[in-house]
Structure 1
Amino acid sequence: MAFRTSIFDLPMIHGLLWFPLLLVFVLLTALGWLERRRQNLFRVWAEDSELSKLDGSGAARLKQGMLSWSSFEAGRFQEQGNFEVTKLEMLELMALTSGEAPLTQESQGRCRLRLIGNGQEMDVPFADAEQARRWVDQLMARARCDL
Protein backbone atom coordinates (compact mmCIF):
# COMPACT_ATOMS: atom_id res chain seq x y z
CA MET A 1 0.00 0.00 0.00
CA ALA A 2 1.66 3.15 -1.15
CA PHE A 3 0.95 6.59 0.20
CA ARG A 4 -0.32 8.84 -2.54
CA THR A 5 -0.88 12.52 -2.33
CA SER A 6 -2.98 14.31 -4.83
CA ILE A 7 -1.71 17.54 -6.30
CA PHE A 8 -4.79 19.30 -4.92
CA ASP A 9 -3.97 18.50 -1.26
CA LEU A 10 -0.66 20.41 -1.14
CA PRO A 11 -1.98 23.97 -1.78
CA MET A 12 -4.66 23.49 0.87
CA ILE A 13 -2.10 22.44 3.49
CA HIS A 14 0.19 25.27 2.42
CA GLY A 15 -2.68 27.76 2.81
CA LEU A 16 -3.59 26.43 6.24
CA LEU A 17 -0.01 26.90 7.40
CA TRP A 18 -0.08 30.60 6.40
CA PHE A 19 -3.51 31.32 7.90
CA PRO A 20 -2.22 32.03 11.49
CA LEU A 21 0.32 34.47 10.04
CA LEU A 22 -2.48 36.27 8.22
CA LEU A 23 -4.44 36.55 11.49
CA VAL A 24 -1.41 37.99 13.29
CA PHE A 25 -0.94 40.53 10.50
CA VAL A 26 -4.58 41.65 10.72
CA LEU A 27 -4.34 41.92 14.52
CA LEU A 28 -1.12 43.98 14.39
CA THR A 29 -2.63 46.26 11.76
CA ALA A 30 -5.71 46.87 13.93
CA LEU A 31 -3.57 47.58 17.01
CA GLY A 32 -1.42 50.00 15.00
CA TRP A 33 -4.51 51.81 13.79
CA LEU A 34 -5.81 52.12 17.37
CA GLU A 35 -2.47 53.53 18.59
CA ARG A 36 -2.37 56.04 15.75
CA ARG A 37 -5.91 57.14 16.61
CA ARG A 38 -4.95 57.51 20.28
CA GLN A 39 -1.94 59.67 19.34
CA ASN A 40 -4.04 61.86 17.04
CA LEU A 41 -6.66 62.37 19.76
CA PHE A 42 -3.85 63.24 22.18
CA ARG A 43 -2.48 65.90 19.80
CA VAL A 44 -5.89 67.57 19.71
CA TRP A 45 -6.38 67.21 23.49
CA ALA A 46 -2.93 68.61 24.31
CA GLU A 47 -3.02 71.45 21.79
CA ASP A 48 -1.70 74.77 23.18
CA SER A 49 -0.40 73.05 26.32
CA GLU A 50 2.77 74.26 28.02
CA LEU A 51 3.68 70.71 29.01
CA SER A 52 2.17 67.38 27.96
CA LYS A 53 2.82 63.64 28.06
CA LEU A 54 1.27 60.49 26.65
CA ASP A 55 2.37 57.06 27.86
CA GLY A 56 0.93 53.72 28.85
CA SER A 57 -0.44 55.17 32.10
CA GLY A 58 -2.43 57.89 30.36
CA ALA A 59 -2.10 61.50 29.30
CA ALA A 60 -1.36 64.70 31.21
CA ARG A 61 -1.14 68.35 30.25
CA LEU A 62 -0.40 71.70 31.81
CA LYS A 63 -2.55 74.37 30.23
CA GLN A 64 -3.11 77.89 31.61
CA GLY A 65 -1.90 76.93 35.08
CA MET A 66 -4.16 73.86 35.32
CA LEU A 67 -2.68 70.36 35.35
CA SER A 68 -5.13 67.80 33.93
CA TRP A 69 -4.69 64.09 33.44
CA SER A 70 -6.78 61.52 31.62
CA SER A 71 -6.86 57.88 30.68
CA PHE A 72 -7.68 56.57 27.22
CA GLU A 73 -10.91 54.59 27.41
CA ALA A 74 -13.43 53.59 24.77
CA GLY A 75 -11.76 55.61 22.04
CA ARG A 76 -11.53 58.93 23.92
CA PHE A 77 -9.70 60.59 26.77
CA GLN A 78 -11.57 60.22 30.07
CA GLU A 79 -10.74 63.02 32.53
CA GLN A 80 -9.27 61.65 35.78
CA GLY A 81 -8.42 64.84 37.66
CA ASN A 82 -7.29 68.47 37.72
CA PHE A 83 -4.93 70.42 39.92
CA GLU A 84 -4.21 74.14 39.93
CA VAL A 85 -0.44 74.60 39.76
CA THR A 86 -0.50 77.90 41.65
CA LYS A 87 -1.82 75.97 44.68
CA LEU A 88 1.04 73.46 44.50
CA GLU A 89 2.96 73.20 47.78
CA MET A 90 4.87 69.96 47.30
CA LEU A 91 5.55 67.25 44.71
CA GLU A 92 6.58 63.71 45.57
CA LEU A 93 7.50 60.78 43.37
CA MET A 94 5.90 57.67 44.78
CA ALA A 95 6.26 53.99 43.94
CA LEU A 96 3.20 52.80 42.09
CA THR A 97 2.50 49.59 43.97
CA SER A 98 4.18 49.86 47.36
CA GLY A 99 1.68 52.08 49.15
CA GLU A 100 3.17 55.28 50.53
CA ALA A 101 6.82 54.51 49.76
CA PRO A 102 8.68 57.31 47.98
CA LEU A 103 10.49 56.48 44.77
CA THR A 104 14.25 56.10 45.11
CA GLN A 105 16.69 57.74 42.69
CA GLU A 106 17.67 54.35 41.27
CA SER A 107 14.09 53.28 40.61
CA GLN A 108 12.86 52.96 37.06
CA GLY A 109 9.55 52.09 35.47
CA ARG A 110 6.03 52.89 36.57
CA CYS A 111 5.42 55.42 39.34
CA ARG A 112 3.05 58.20 40.37
CA LEU A 113 3.52 61.89 40.92
CA ARG A 114 1.82 63.05 44.11
CA LEU A 115 0.60 66.65 44.03
CA ILE A 116 0.00 68.29 47.39
CA GLY A 117 -1.54 71.71 47.91
CA ASN A 118 -4.65 73.61 48.97
CA GLY A 119 -5.69 70.74 51.27
CA GLN A 120 -5.65 68.22 48.40
CA GLU A 121 -3.54 65.20 47.51
CA MET A 122 -3.75 63.83 43.98
CA ASP A 123 -1.73 61.20 42.14
CA VAL A 124 -0.79 61.34 38.45
CA PRO A 125 0.42 57.98 37.06
CA PHE A 126 3.55 57.76 34.91
CA ALA A 127 4.89 54.81 32.93
CA ASP A 128 8.49 56.07 33.14
CA ALA A 129 10.24 57.34 36.29
CA GLU A 130 12.71 59.48 34.29
CA GLN A 131 9.88 61.33 32.60
CA ALA A 132 8.21 61.83 35.98
CA ARG A 133 11.45 63.30 37.39
CA ARG A 134 11.58 65.78 34.50
CA TRP A 135 7.96 66.73 35.19
CA VAL A 136 8.77 67.40 38.87
CA ASP A 137 11.44 69.91 37.87
CA GLN A 138 9.26 71.59 35.26
CA LEU A 139 6.16 71.77 37.46
CA MET A 140 8.09 73.23 40.39
CA ALA A 141 9.59 75.85 38.06
CA ARG A 142 6.11 76.72 36.75
CA ALA A 143 4.65 76.84 40.25
CA ARG A 144 7.38 79.26 41.39
CA CYS A 145 6.84 81.42 38.28
CA ASP A 146 3.09 81.56 38.86
CA LEU A 147 3.33 82.39 42.58
Structure 2
Amino acid sequence: MREGLLWLPLLVIFVVLTALGWMERRRQALFRLWAQGSELARLDAAVAMRLQDGRISWGSVGPKGVELAEDIAVNHLELCELMADRSGDVPLTDEAYCPCRLRLVAEGRSLDIPFSDAVKARLWVDELMSRVRCQL
Protein backbone atom coordinates (compact mmCIF):
# COMPACT_ATOMS: atom_id res chain seq x y z
CA MET A 1 0.00 0.00 0.00
CA ARG A 2 2.82 2.39 0.88
CA GLU A 3 4.58 1.74 -2.41
CA GLY A 4 1.38 2.66 -4.27
CA LEU A 5 1.08 5.91 -2.35
CA LEU A 6 4.67 6.80 -3.23
CA TRP A 7 3.78 6.65 -6.95
CA LEU A 8 0.71 8.86 -6.56
CA PRO A 9 2.62 12.20 -6.57
CA LEU A 10 4.49 11.11 -9.71
CA LEU A 11 1.19 10.30 -11.40
CA VAL A 12 -0.19 13.74 -10.48
CA ILE A 13 2.96 15.44 -11.79
CA PHE A 14 2.71 13.47 -15.05
CA VAL A 15 -0.93 14.50 -15.54
CA VAL A 16 -0.16 18.17 -14.81
CA LEU A 17 2.83 18.24 -17.19
CA THR A 18 0.77 16.56 -19.90
CA ALA A 19 -2.01 19.14 -19.50
CA LEU A 20 0.48 22.03 -19.62
CA GLY A 21 2.07 20.59 -22.75
CA TRP A 22 -1.33 20.24 -24.41
CA MET A 23 -2.22 23.85 -23.52
CA GLU A 24 1.06 25.15 -25.02
CA ARG A 25 0.53 23.11 -28.17
CA ARG A 26 -3.00 24.53 -28.49
CA ARG A 27 -1.64 28.05 -27.94
CA GLN A 28 0.91 27.58 -30.73
CA ALA A 29 -1.72 26.13 -33.07
CA LEU A 30 -4.00 29.14 -32.46
CA PHE A 31 -1.07 31.46 -33.14
CA ARG A 32 -0.20 29.66 -36.42
CA LEU A 33 -3.81 29.98 -37.55
CA TRP A 34 -3.84 33.72 -36.73
CA ALA A 35 -0.47 34.31 -38.38
CA GLN A 36 -1.33 32.66 -41.72
CA GLY A 37 -0.65 35.00 -44.60
CA SER A 38 1.50 37.34 -42.53
CA GLU A 39 4.75 38.74 -43.84
CA LEU A 40 6.29 38.43 -40.39
CA ALA A 41 4.96 36.85 -37.19
CA ARG A 42 6.38 36.24 -33.72
CA LEU A 43 5.07 34.36 -30.69
CA ASP A 44 6.52 35.33 -27.33
CA ALA A 45 5.46 34.24 -23.86
CA ALA A 46 3.93 37.68 -23.33
CA VAL A 47 2.58 38.62 -26.78
CA ALA A 48 1.80 37.50 -30.32
CA MET A 49 2.70 39.95 -33.11
CA ARG A 50 2.36 40.02 -36.87
CA LEU A 51 2.99 42.28 -39.83
CA GLN A 52 0.28 41.86 -42.44
CA ASP A 53 -0.93 44.14 -45.23
CA GLY A 54 1.11 47.09 -43.96
CA ARG A 55 -0.25 46.87 -40.39
CA ILE A 56 1.45 45.71 -37.21
CA SER A 57 -1.00 44.00 -34.86
CA TRP A 58 -0.46 42.33 -31.51
CA GLY A 59 -2.30 40.75 -28.61
CA SER A 60 -2.30 37.87 -26.18
CA VAL A 61 -3.10 34.29 -27.10
CA GLY A 62 -6.16 33.11 -25.21
CA PRO A 63 -8.26 29.95 -25.33
CA LYS A 64 -10.28 31.24 -28.32
CA GLY A 65 -7.34 32.62 -30.31
CA VAL A 66 -5.38 35.84 -30.37
CA GLU A 67 -7.17 38.65 -28.56
CA LEU A 68 -5.99 41.78 -30.35
CA ALA A 69 -4.83 44.58 -28.11
CA GLU A 70 -4.00 47.11 -30.82
CA ASP A 71 -2.81 47.52 -34.37
CA ILE A 72 -1.04 50.29 -36.19
CA ALA A 73 -0.30 51.16 -39.81
CA VAL A 74 3.36 50.87 -40.74
CA ASN A 75 3.35 54.11 -42.73
CA HIS A 76 2.33 56.01 -39.55
CA LEU A 77 5.25 54.60 -37.55
CA GLU A 78 7.62 57.33 -36.33
CA LEU A 79 9.82 55.50 -33.81
CA CYS A 80 10.51 51.90 -32.83
CA GLU A 81 12.76 51.25 -29.83
CA LEU A 82 13.33 48.70 -27.09
CA MET A 83 12.86 49.90 -23.54
CA ALA A 84 13.82 48.36 -20.20
CA ASP A 85 10.76 46.79 -18.62
CA ARG A 86 10.92 48.12 -15.08
CA SER A 87 13.13 51.18 -15.42
CA GLY A 88 10.68 53.75 -16.72
CA ASP A 89 11.82 55.36 -19.97
CA VAL A 90 15.32 53.90 -20.10
CA PRO A 91 16.36 52.34 -23.45
CA LEU A 92 17.40 48.70 -23.34
CA THR A 93 21.14 48.03 -23.47
CA ASP A 94 22.60 45.55 -25.96
CA GLU A 95 23.77 43.26 -23.15
CA ALA A 96 20.35 42.90 -21.49
CA TYR A 97 18.52 39.56 -21.54
CA CYS A 98 15.63 40.51 -19.27
CA PRO A 99 11.97 41.16 -20.04
CA CYS A 100 11.52 44.36 -22.00
CA ARG A 101 8.96 46.30 -24.00
CA LEU A 102 8.85 47.49 -27.55
CA ARG A 103 7.82 51.12 -27.83
CA LEU A 104 6.11 52.15 -31.05
CA VAL A 105 5.40 55.84 -31.54
CA ALA A 106 2.87 56.75 -34.20
CA GLU A 107 0.31 59.46 -34.78
CA GLY A 108 1.32 61.25 -31.59
CA ARG A 109 0.76 58.28 -29.26
CA SER A 110 3.13 55.83 -27.67
CA LEU A 111 2.31 52.12 -27.56
CA ASP A 112 4.25 49.66 -25.39
CA ILE A 113 4.32 45.97 -26.26
CA PRO A 114 5.70 43.58 -23.61
CA PHE A 115 8.31 40.95 -24.47
CA SER A 116 9.52 38.26 -22.09
CA ASP A 117 12.95 37.96 -23.71
CA ALA A 118 15.14 40.80 -24.94
CA VAL A 119 16.93 38.59 -27.49
CA LYS A 120 13.63 37.69 -29.19
CA ALA A 121 12.58 41.31 -29.06
CA ARG A 122 15.80 42.44 -30.77
CA LEU A 123 15.33 39.83 -33.51
CA TRP A 124 11.72 40.96 -34.02
CA VAL A 125 12.73 44.63 -34.29
CA ASP A 126 15.55 43.84 -36.74
CA GLU A 127 13.25 41.76 -38.97
CA LEU A 128 10.48 44.34 -38.69
CA MET A 129 12.73 47.25 -39.60
CA SER A 130 14.21 45.39 -42.58
CA ARG A 131 10.70 44.84 -43.97
CA VAL A 132 9.22 48.18 -42.96
CA ARG A 133 11.94 50.25 -44.64
CA CYS A 134 10.61 49.08 -47.97
CA GLN A 135 7.14 50.36 -47.10
CA LEU A 136 8.03 53.71 -45.52
Quickly name the TM-score band, shorter chain normalised: over 0.9
The equivalent residue for 2:112 is 123
The SS at the match of 1:89 is: strand
Please report the TM-score for the alignment, with normalisation by the length of structure 1: 0.86
Structure 2: distance between partners of 1:107 and 1:43: 29
Is it true that 1:49 corresponds to 2:38 in the alignment?
Answer: yes
Say which of 61, 67, 80 aligns to 1:91: 80
Measure, in 1, the Cα distance between the counterparts of 2:39 and 2:103: 20
User: 1:73 Cα deviation (Å)?
Assistant: 2.9
- The separation in 1 between residues aligned to 2:63 and 2:126, in whole angstroms, is 33
Q: Distance in 2 between matches of 1:78 and 1:60?
A: 11
**Structure 1 runs of 4+ with >6 Å offset:** none
Match of 2:10 among 5, 10, 21: 21
Match of 1:114 in 2: 103
Structure 2 residue 135 is the aligned partner of structure 1 residue 142:
no
Aligned equivalents of 2:97 and 2:20: distance in 1?
A: 26
SS at match of 1:145: coil
What is the alpha-carbon root mean square deviation over aligned residues? 1.3
Instruction: Single out whichever of 135-144 and 24-33 deviates more from structure 2.
Output: 135-144
TM-superposed CA distance for 1:75, in Å, is: 4.5
Percentage of matched positions with identical amino acids: 54
Alpha carbons 1:85, 1:139 under 8 Å: kept: no
* SS across alignment from 2:14: helix
Unmatched 5+ stretches in structure 1: 1-11
1:15 and 1:75, CA in 2 relative to 1: closer, same or farther beyond 3 A?
Answer: farther
Separation in structure 1 between the aligned mates of residue 112 and residue 24 of structure 2, nearest angstrom: 25
SS of the residue aligned with 1:25?
A: helix
Deviations 1:2-26 (A, max 9, x none): xxxxxxxxxx111111001000000
Q: Distance in 2 between matches of 1:144 and 1:58?
A: 23
Q: Give 1 or 2 for the bigger CA radius of gyration.
A: 1
The structure showing larger relative contact order (alpha-carbon pairs under 8 Å, at least 6 residues apart) is 2
What is the TM-score with the length of structure 2 in the denominator? Answer: 0.93
The count of corresponding residues between Structure 1 and Structure 2 is 136
